[in-house]
Amino acid sequence: MMAERDSSNGSGAPPNAVRVSGTDGCVDGEALMNGMNEIRILFRGQKYRLSVTGSGKLLLTK
């Protein structure tokens, strides 16, 4: 299963939003990070930081 970037605005999703394909709810981490080492996530009014560590693992912090 791969996540793919949505570059159109026809779906109502923001440009470059990551879509989940398939039924298991997985999102491809490479597609999510889009070549960056850190992204910020707003979830239910709380801000989080998802970063790639030096050993290539994902770390989610508040």
What is the band of 2 on the pLDDT scale with cuts at 50, 70, 90? very low
Q: Are the CB atoms for 36 and 16 separated by under 8 Å?
A: no
Q: Is the pTM of this model over 0.85?
A: no
The domain limits of the chain are 4-61
pLDDT score at 16: 66
Quick count: other Cβ atoms within 10 Å of Cβ 39?
13
- Residue 19, token pair as written in the block: 């879509």
Alpha helices in the chain (DSSP H): 29-33
Q: Are the CB atoms for 1 and 21 separated by under 8 Å?
A: yes
DSSP class of 32: H
User: pLDDT for 4-62, tens place per residue?
Assistant: 444 444 556 666 677 777 778 888 889 889 999 999 999 999 999 999 999 999 999 99
Q: Distance between CA atoms of 51 and 38, rounded to whole angstroms?
A: 4
* Correct CATH for 4-61 of 3.40.50.300, 2.10.70.10, 2.60.40.10, 3.90.550.10: 2.10.70.10
